[in-house]
Copies of this chain bind each other. A is one copy, B any other.
């Protein structure tokens, strides 16, 4: 046994991005009463090569059985543990416009472990209203303590909003504004930019789909953050 203890230290980012997909598939199989699945099956459902599935899952420790594949209940559990679903995260959301509404009302948005503890806006017409059981607060007032902030504000004020949440000791930001943010070292930012996705598709349409000029049967969108040189 080369690794005495499962190193949670750091999985490759593409792997981390695929784990939630495996998790979803495994949970669904559990729900359907299925017990085991092999890397080929998981790969087909996730749009990933079997070898990649095995390499990804091997990173969580030896949880497969040679000759028999993976126990999907164990798999789901183990992935959830690795992703930190058993921890607790307090989440605040800034900017309760159309998108903010949509996220708050989405059943797929909040993972187990994440709890929405506050909605904020600067628009007086929105402040005080009730959205999905939360009263929208003034972003310029007091903020609830949280570990993660979701930014759904216009790009022109995204940096200001980011500065403010960083001051409130939040070290993780999910930014839906099409605006690159400047944050201190130690703060993680992830971007979701619909327009970029659309543009990539448009590019692929005009330039032939896929790297091989061919196409794809399944495909899995994964993302990662690229930190610049730190020097």
Contacts and interface: CB of A to CB of B under 8 A. Distances in A.
Contacts of A124: none
A192 B199 contact: no
A108 B194 contact: yes
A171 interface: yes
Given A148-B202, A202-B148, A228 B103 contact: no
Contacts of A133: none
A140 interface: no
A214 B47 CA distance: 32
Contact of A215 (B8, B47, B185, B203): B185
Contacts of A78: none
Given A16-B200, A194-B108, A200-B13, A84 B205 contact: yes
Contacts of A47: 180, 226, 228
A154 B200 CA distance: 23
Contact of A191 (B83, B220, B224): B220
A123 interface: no
A157 interface: no
A162 to B, nearest CB: 11
B226 A223 contact: no
Most buried by B among A101, A178, A182, A215: A215
Interface string A1-29: 01000011111011011011100100000
A134 to B, nearest CB: 15
B203 A84 contact: yes
B17 A200 contact: yes
Interface string A102-133: 11011011110110000000000000000000
A231 to B, nearest CB: 10
A178 B24 contact: yes
Contacts of A205: 84, 89, 147-148, 171-172, 188
A101 B209 CA distance: 29
10 contacts: A98-B102, A111-B198, A111-B199, A113-B202, A186-B214, A189-B216, A192-B192, A197-B223, A217-B227, A219-B225
- Across chains A and B, which 5 residue pairs bring their CB atoms closest together, nearest first? A191-B221, A98-B102, A216-B227, A185-B215, A223-B223
